[in-house]
Amino acid sequence: MLASRQEAGHILGAHSCVLSRHSCRDLCNQQLTASKRKLSGIGQECLRHKPARLGYNLKDHMGSVLIKTPAIDPRYAQFRLSIRESRIHRRGVYAEEPIPARRKVIEYTGERISRRETKRRGAGPVTYLFTLDDYWTLDGAFGGSGAEIINHSCDPNLRSMNFKGHILYMSKRAIRRGEELTVDYRFDKDIGRVRCRCGAKTCRGVINLVK
């Protein structure tokens, strides 16, 4: 998460939102703080599991907002995609047409913020942060393409890739029409473990890397 790599590595373990079907209690027990999110490679901080608290001031907690009406931005999607209910966690992104292997599917976009601002926003209850390099992070809560809604799986059909400062989600294999898109969040093994409920035969039980 700290060094830019062609193959995106870890999605910050606090998405995004962005995971298996975890309860708020699961995440609360993790007590993940910004200082513990020491992730190498490219990553994304996701806590879409905890709803924003009533009374939060958006000006003071800009990253602490739950995306209530997520949508796919066709400017960044190469195929027809949709967002609907997911068996993995809340809502997910689905292919509305067949997607061949090794193709760009969608770009992860968002407001570009500094590491200092990343630490501030990462302390909120809901974050959609994806580390771009040593200094910049993308906050998918603002200007997101819809890729921030993609759920985790231990056997994903997408992989993340940093190409010239752009985070691209590439298809690992052919994807059927109606299939949910997933990516391995690869949470760091040194932070609090987050239970995985992706349902894959190869599920490792946690979203964190185990080796």
DSSP-assigned states of every residue in the chain: --S--SB--------TTTSSS--HHHHHHH---GGG----SSEEEE-TTSPPPTT--TTT-TT----SS----TTTBSS-EEEEE-SSSSEEEEESS-B-TT-EEEEE--EEE-HHHHHHHHTSSS-EEEE-SSS-EEETTTT--SGGGPEE-SS-SEEEEEETTEEEEEESS-B-TTPBPEE---B-TTSPP-B-----TT--SBSB---
pTM of full prediction above 0.85: no
Average pLDDT of the segment spanning 131-149: 92
- Give tens-digit pLDDT for 95-111: 999 999 999 999 999 99
- Give tens-digit pLDDT for 63-85: 446 777 899 999 999 999 999 99
